[in-house]
Structure 1
Amino acid sequence: FDSKPYKLNNAIDIEKVKKILTKYDVILPKKRNYYIETNYSHYVHAHHQEPLDKTREIIQASYPQYLVKYDEVMKRSKAHMFNMFIMKRDVFESYCSFIFGVLGKLEKQVDLTGYSVQEKRVYGYISELLMDVWLETNAFKYTELKWGQLGGKNNVRKAVSLVERKIGIKTKTHF
């Protein structure tokens, strides 16, 4: 009798990770597709717009080599989300240098006064969108794996919330 509400028999093991990393620099979950929205419009319908716009300004001023990919990623409907990845060490150091450089500057420019507890997670949300910007600018080789979620997804509530946001009704957006 298994008392856990989930099974981990589909989790990737270290030997498989090592084998994959002989061919690729990064292992990521499959991209999320927003279908009817771009990454930018999805973000601003669900979160405060100012931090994302300031992120672009920071990239333009301090990391201009990333600006073309930033604009491309914002116009797409797909992205590697969830801040889940496995990377080679040197690749991870490159990622950290970029991501924390941008977020460190952003933190100095954004006033979180009045943000909900959920919205104070802004740097995590922004970092999700920066993954593909960093990855593609540096042309790292990556592969995608199917990922799973423990617990319920609450898809009906998410769909209702999406429609409400599209017509301008502000509601709880995260579950």
Structure 2
Amino acid sequence: MKIIVAAHKPYEMPDDPIYQPVYVGSALKTDRPAGYIGDDTGKNMSEMNPYYNELTAMYWAKYNLQDEDIIGLAHYRRYLGSKASHELKDVLTESQIREGLAAHDVLLPKCRNYYIENQRDHYLNAHLNEPYFVLEQVIREDYPEFEPAFQALEKSTKIHLYNMSIMPQALFQDYTDFVFGVLAKVQAKIPYDRYEGQDARVFGFLSERLMDVWIETRQHSYREYPLVTTERTNWLDKGTQFLKRKFLKSDQTKTHF
């Protein structure tokens, strides 16, 4: 079992060997923190990290951790936990993960509910629109079996975010085949290398729309867990920015991250 922890800087990590820090974008950097594995070893897409974010760690795991029975992805400041907290001592242990997977196919973070905005509108209000329209086209034309679940997600106010999950190796391979297959087709159709700021992180944002689509299409069962977040969230600011994006349509608003 390995839960890879995507990190772009040195950071406190869980004191448990199942959690493996992966230094994302290593191909673009000159150093690497002690104890971290670079996402530029073996088969990799490390140089695409500015556009794919934590997905370069997931891609690395897909091809370089195939001997592990269970694979997961966490962020340096977000983990699945036994309870919602800001303490690393509350991240899931190996026994808790095995217990969860004994009864369910996939372990996920608790879903986010936006209540007054569906997922299609939320994305279009927060990000460049062109990539999303291309994503819709790719799903419709190249992955038609996933289109009903994608359309259902678009209308839903709920979503599982962060590209975080824990699942058996076979499911991880199927999931990542879908994610990277879709994103490769989108990448070929948009000028992603001309995007700036948060917009450049386009494939990391788009991919968040794919987890629930894959889960629903494949009819996998899942169990949700609260988040352990090592950095406290300013919910007042997040809520204010959410409302600004929805009602003011201002270019000066922040993304939901």
TM-score surpassing 0.5?
yes
Contact map agreement 1:161 1:171 (CA 8 A) in 2: no
Q: Is 1:61–2:141 an aligned residue pair?
A: yes
Q: Percent identity?
A: 33
Give the equivalent residue in structure 1 for 2:252. 171
Q: Which residue of 1 aligns with 2:173?
A: 93
C-alpha spacing 1:115/1:172, structure 2 compared with 1 (3 Å) = farther
Give how far 1:7 is off: 2.2
Q: CA offsets, 1:69-112, max 9 Å, x none?
A: 10000110000001110011110011011000000000111112
Offset at residue 119 of structure 1 (A): 1.2
Point out which structure has higher relative CO (alpha carbons under 8 A, 6+ apart): 1
Indicate which of 8, 11, 23 corresponds to 2:91. Answer: 11
Structure 2 Cα separation of the partners of residues 26 and 152 of structure 1? 26
- Determine if the alignment matches structure 1 residue 40 to structure 2 residue 120: yes
Distance 2:180 2:193 in 1: 22
Partner of 1:81: 161
Deviation string for 1:106-128 (max 9, x for gaps)? 01111125522211111111111
Counterpart contact for 2:241–2:254, Cα < 8 Å:
yes
8 Å contact 1:164–1:171 — kept in the other structure?
A: no
Hey, what's the Cα distance between the residues in 2 that align with 1:142 and 1:111? 35
1:160 shift after superposition? 2.2
Q: Unpaired runs of 5+ in structure 1? A: none
Select 1:122's aligned residue among 199, 202, 215. 202
CA distance in 1, matches of 2:232, 2:103: 34
Whether 1:107 aligns to 2:187 is yes
Letter in 2 for 1:90: A
Q: State which of 152, 167, 180 in structure 2 corresponds to 1:72.
A: 152
RMSD: 1.5
In structure 1, how many angstroms separate the alpha carbons of the residues matched to 2:144 and 2:158? 23
Equivalent residue letter for 1:85: S
* TM-score, normalised by the number of residues in structure 1: 0.92
Which structure dedicates a bigger proportion of its chain to helix? 1
Runs of 4+, deviation exceeding 4 Å: none
Which is richer in strand?
2
Q: CA deviation at 1:158?
A: 1.8
CA distance in 2, matches of 1:70, 1:164: 26
| Selected match of 1:52 from 118, 129, 132 | 132
Once residues 106 and 126 of structure 1 are traced to their aligned partners in structure 2, the CA distance between those partners, rounded to angstroms, is: 10
Residue 21 (structure 1) aligns with: 101
* Rounded Cα–Cα distance in structure 2 between residues aligned with 1:160 and 1:144: 27
Partner of 2:214: 134
**For residues 89 and 163 of structure 1, what CA distance do their matches in structure 2 show?**
40
Local SS of the residue matching 1:28: strand
Flag structure 2 segments of 5+ consecutive residues without an equivalent: 1-11, 13-85
Asked if the contact 2:87/2:230 (under 8 Å) is kept, the reply is no
- Contact 2:87 / 2:229 at 8 angstroms: preserved in 1? no
